[in-house]
Amino acid sequence: MTQHSRDLSRRRLLFGGAAVGAGVLLAGCTSNESQEPTTAQTKGADAAAGGNAAPGERVTIGFSAPAADHGWIAAITNNAKAQAAAYSDVEFKTVEAGADAAAQRAALSTLLSQKPDVIVLLPHDGKELNAFGLEAMQAGVPVVNLDRAFPDAKAYRLQIKGDNYGMGVAAATYIAEQLKAKGVSNPVIGEIAGIDSLELTQERSKGFADTLAQHGLKVANRRAAEFTADSGQQAATGLLQALPKIDAIWNHDDDQGIGVLAAINQANRKEFFMVGGAGSKKAMEDIQADNTVLKATVTYSPSMASSAISLARLIAQGKGMSDLVELQVPKEIILASETITKENVSNYLKLGF
Amino acid sequence: MSEVTETPAAERAAKLPAQSPPVDPAETAAAGHAATGRLSWWRGDGGEGARRNLGLIGVLVALIVIGIVTRPDLYGDSSWVWSNFLTILKLASVVGVVTVGMTFVIIGGGIDLSVGAIVALAGVWATTVATQSYGAGGMIFCALTVGLGVGLVNGLLISYGRLVPFIATLAMLVAARGLAAEISNKQTQVSDNNTINSIASTNLLGIPLLVYILAAVVIAGWVLLNRTTFGRRTVAVGGNPEAARLAGINVKRHTLLLYALSGLCCGIAAIMLTAQATSAQAAMANLYELDAIAAAIIGGTLLSGGRGTIIGSLLGVIIFSTITNLFAINGLSTEAQNMVKGGIIVAAVLVQQVHFRSLTQFLSRNRLTTT
C-alpha cells in the first residue's frame, strides 16, 4: 500500500510538474509582437494639406465599431485610433460595439450622454441603427457613418463608404481585359464570395455579373465562403473540383484569400489567374512577388476610417476640405474601388492592412 | 486488463441497460437471444451498429448516383473521380477528427459545444509569432497541449464542478473564442512554417497525409471504444451513470477524461485546419460543433448516451462532405445545401427510430428520403 501510494504521489508530481511547465511555456507563446497595428494608414498632421492640419479648437470624437474578428474591421478600429492620435486637438473616446445592433445601440446611448462633439460609427447594421443616428443628430451631435449606410438621410451628417458594386465592376473589368488580351475564347470564370447573406456580398456579386455580361461572359461556378481563411480553403477546394479547367477566379476578400491560395497550391493548379478583393498587405506582397496565381486585387480600403476621423474633426471644428470650394465637409463620400496590379502595387503597399 | 477482472459482472450489469434504449419487445427479445448465442450475430444486438452503418453506406451510394446523373461529364473521367474521392476525404478529415472525440463525449452521456472554439484557440495559439519561432514541433506541441488543457478545464467544470455539460461547454465556446480573438488581435495569423503547411499538401503513396491522420485517429478511437476497459466504461457511464458508479467505476474521473480526449482531438484538428488554410484566426472552425454533433447523431450515436459507433460517426462526416462536394460540382448555392443538410439529419434520425425488419425495407425508405 505504501509502495502504491508513493508511486501514485510520484506520478502526480510528474504530471503536475509537466502541466505547470507546459502552462508556463504556453503562456509565453501568446506574444504577437510583429502584428502590432501599423500607423502607415494615417495622414500625419504635418503632411496634411493646407491650414486644416494646424491644431484648432479642441474636439471630442466618439467612436464605435463592431468587435468583429476579421482583419478588415480590426484595421478600421486601429486606423481610427492611430489617426485620432495624430491630432493634438482631438480627444478620442471609443465604446465597444458589443455583439449585435442592440448592444451597440446601448453603448452608443452612453456615449451620446457624454456629449461628444461628433460621433463616428461603423454600425453592425445601418438599418437597425438608423434610429440612433436620428436621435444623435436631433440632439445636435453630428454623426459620421462609416461604410454601412443609414437609409434615412437625416440620420447622418457625413456618409463615407466603399463601393461594393464598384469592386465587382473593377474585378470583372480587369478579368475581361486580361482574357481578351490572351485571346481566350469561351473562358471559364469562377467566383468565391464572402458571407452570402450580407448585402455587401450580393452587391459585389451583382457588379461582377453585370460587368461580365457586358463583355459577353458569365460566372461558371460561384462558391460562398465566410471571410475566414479556413472557409475560403474549403470553398476553393469545391470550386477547383467542380471546374477541371479555369481561366480566371475572383475572390471577394483577401483574408479568406489566404485559404483560397492554399487550396490552389494544394490542388497543384496554376492554369488560371486570380483577382482578390479588399487589398490586404499579404495580397499586395503576393502580387508584387508575382509568384502565385494572384495577379491583382480590387480595393475596399479600411483607410476610410482614418479619413472619417479627419473629416469628423473638420466637421466638429466647422471647417471645410481645403481643396474644395465649399466651406463645409460634403455629405457623402464614396471611395473608388481601385485595381492593384504588379505595375502600381508599390504605391498601395502602405495602405495594405 | 487486470482492471476488467475487478468487477466484470457489475460492469456488465451497468452495460446492459445502456445497450437497450427504448425498443419494442421484439428487439429486446432479439438482444436476449443474441446473448445466449441462439441468433446469428447479424440479426442480434451486436449487429445493430453494422446494420445502421450499412444504411448510411446506402445513403452515400445514393449521393454518388446523384452525382453521376447530374455531372456525367466529370464522372466519366476516372482520374477526376479518384481525385474527387480524395478531396471528399480531405474535406472530411478535420471535422472527422473532431467527431471522434465528440462521439466519445456523447456516448459518455455528455455534449461538447466548445469543439469549434477549441480548434480556433489551439490554431491561433499555435500560430502566434512566439510559438512559430519554436518550429513545427513547438507548434504541434502547443496545439495539442492547448486542446488537451481546455478539454481538461471542461471536464473539471462538469465532473467536479457539477455544471451541466451544455452550460459548461457553451461558456467555454464563448470564452475560448474570446481568448483566441484576444491573442490574435482579431487578425488572421499566417503560418510561415513550411513543415506545418505541407501537412495539407503532402501525399504518401498517392493518398493525402490528412487522410492518414484521419484514419489513424479513427482506428485509435475504434480500438479505444471497442477493445479497452476505457471504452466499456464510457458506454457504462453514458448508459446509466448510477449503475456505473455502483459497479465501481470512478464516474467523475472518467467524465473528466472524456472531455480531455475531445479537447485533444480538437488540438489535432487545429493543426490539420491550420495546415489547410496556411493560417489561423479566431473565427475559424465556425460551427464545427454542430457539424460534429450532427455527424455523430446520423451515425447512430444516441444523444442521451450509452450507444454509438466510431464508424457510424465517420460515415456521418463523409456523408456531409459528399453533400458539400455534390453541391459544389453542380454550382448550387450554400442556402440550398444547408436546407438539404437539415433534411438529411431529420431523415437519418427518423429512419433510425424505425427498427428495421429487413435491410431492403430500410434501403428503400432511405432512398425515398434522399431523392
When comparing pLDDT for B181 and A4, which is higher? B181
B128 closest CB neighbour out of A30, A224, A259: A30
> Which residues, including other chains, have CB under 8 Å from residue A203's CB and lie 6 or more apart?
A164, A165, A168
How confident is the model at residue B126, as a pLDDT? 93
B325 touching A, CB under 8 A?
A: yes
Across the interface, which of A74, A221, A258 has its CB nearest the CB of B279?
Answer: A258
- Do B277 and A237 count as a contact with CB atoms less than 8 A apart? no
CA separation for the pair B332, B323 (Å, rounded): 11
Chain A with chain B: Cβ pairs closer than 8 A:
146
Task: Pick the residue from chain A with its C-alpha nearest to B277.
Answer: A259
Query: Looking at the DSSP assignment, which residues form a beta bridge with residue A340?
Result: A297
Distance from CA of B308 to the nearest CA of A (A): 28
Helix axes B288-298, B310-329, angle to 10 degrees: 120
Q: Which residues contact B219 (CB under 8 A, 6 or more apart)?
A: none
A27 at the B interface (CB within 8 A)? Answer: no
User: Which of chain B's residues have a Cβ under 8 Å away from the Cβ of A244?
Assistant: 74, 77, 80
What pLDDT, in 10s, does the model give residues B246-286? 999 999 999 999 999 999 999 999 999 999 999 999 989 98
Q: For residue A57, what pLDDT is reported?
A: 86
Does B125 contact A at CB distance below 8 Å?
yes
Which of B186, B273, B322 is the mutation pick for testing A, counting most A CBs within 10 A? B186
Which residues sit opposite B123 in a β-bridge? none
- Are both A289 and A214 inside the same structural domain? yes
CA distance B43 to chain A (A): 40
Identify which of B131, B186, B273 has the shortest CB distance to residue A29. B131
- Do residue A172 and residue A108 come from a single domain? no
Task: Select the residue of B129, B177, B329 nearest A35 (Cβ to Cβ).
Answer: B129
Q: Which residues pair with A62 in a beta bridge?
A: A93, A119
Cell of B209: 497525409
Q: A307 and A241 in one domain? A: no
Domain CATH code at residue A293: 3.40.50.2300
Let me know whether A159 and A80 are in one domain. Answer: yes
In whole angstroms, what is the distance from residue A150 CA to residue A159 CA? Answer: 9
Cβ A55 vs Cβ A88: under 8 Å: yes
**Among candidate residues A8, A15, A43, A18, the one with its CA nearest the CA of residue A304:** A43
Q: What is the pLDDT of residues B9-54, one digit of tens each?
A: 444 444 444 444 444 444 444 444 444 445 555 555 556 677 778 8
User: Quick one: A59 and A93 in the same domain?
Assistant: yes
Residue type (1 letter), A140: G
Residues A170 and A294 in one domain: yes
Q: Which residues pair with A93 in a beta bridge?
A: A62
On whether residue A173 sits in a domain, the answer given is: yes
Q: Is A68 on the interface with B (CB under 8 A)?
A: yes
Tell me if chain A has a CB within 8 Å of the CB of B333.
Answer: yes
CB contact under 8 Å between B84 and A220, yes or no, is no
Distance CA B121, CA B184 (A): 9
Say if A285 falls within a structural domain.
Answer: yes
Which 8-state DSSP code applies to residue A353? -
Partners of A189 in beta bridges = A219, A248
Cβ A80 vs Cβ A97: under 8 Å: no
Quickly state the pLDDT bin for B368 (edges 50, 70, 90).
low
Q: Give the architecture-level CATH label for domain B48-370.
A: Orthogonal Bundle (1.10)
> The C-alpha cell of B72 is what?
456525367
Split into its structural domains, chain A has a count of 2
Q: Are residues A243 and A283 in the same domain?
A: yes
Contact A108, A95 (CB under 8 A): yes
Determine, for residues A69 and B333 on separate chains, whether the beta-carbon distance falls below 8 Å: no
Q: Which of A20-29, A135-144, A200-209, B240-249 has the lowest mean pLDDT?
A: A20-29
Mean pLDDT of B125-133: 89
DSSP string, B248-303: T--HHHHHHHHHHHHHHHHHHHHHHHHHHHTEE-TT-STTHHHHHHHHHHHTT--T
Which of A8, A69, A189 should one mutate to test binding to chain B, selecting the residue with the greatest count of B CBs within 10 A?
A69
Grid coordinates standing for B109? 452521456
**Chain A positions in Cβ-Cβ contact with residue B335 (cut-off 8 Å):** 196
> How far does Cα A341 stand from its chain's mean position?
19
A204 and A194 in one domain?
yes
Q: Are residues A313 and A265 part of one domain?
A: no
Most B CBs within 10 Å, among A15, A256, A266, to test the B interface = A266
Q: Is residue A13, in this structure, part of any structural domain at all?
A: no
pLDDT, chain A, mean: 87
Q: Which domain holds residue A125?
A: 55-163+302-319
Same domain, A157 and A252: no
pLDDT band (50, 70, 90) for residue B347:
confident
Q: Are strands A219-224 and A189-193 parallel, antiparallel or unpaired?
A: parallel
With CA atoms as reference, the chain A residue closest to B330 would be A242
- CA distance linking residue B250 with residue B257, whole number of Å: 11
B329 to chain A: which residues are within 8 Å by CB? 238, 241-242
ipTM: 0.79
Specify if A136 maps to a domain.
yes
Determine, yes or no, domain membership for A334.
Answer: no
User: CA B335 from chain center: how many Å?
Assistant: 24
Whether residue A110 lies inside any domain: the answer is: yes
Q: Helix or strand or coil: residue A194?
A: coil
Please name every residue paired with A191 in a beta bridge, in sequence order, or none if there are none: A222, A250
For the record, the C-alpha cell of A174 comes out as 480587369
Say yes or no for a CB contact (<8 Å) between B80 and A71.
no
Is A330 part of a structural domain of the chain? no
Does residue B172 contact residue B146 with C-beta atoms inside 8 Å?
A: no
Mean per-residue pLDDT, B190-211: 91
Which residues on A lie below 8 Å from B187 (Cβ)?
Answer: 35, 71, 74
Nearest CA in chain A to B142: A26
Are residues A158 and A174 part of one domain?
A: no
Residue B24 distance to chain A (closest CA, Å): 43
CA torsion, ordered B359, B362, B363, B368, to nearest 10 deg:
160
Chain B contact present for A17, CB below 8 A: no
Give the mean pLDDT of A161-171.
Answer: 92
Residues A104 and A229 in one domain: no
Q: How far apart are CA A223 and CA A226, in angstroms?
A: 10
Please compute the mean of the pLDDT values over residues B96-103 and round it to a whole number.
97
Nearest beta carbon to residue A234 from set B91, B142, B185: B91
- Cell 445502456 appears where? B18
Residue A190 in any domain: the answer is: yes
Distance CA A121, CA A125 (A): 11
Indicate the length of chain B as a whole number. 371
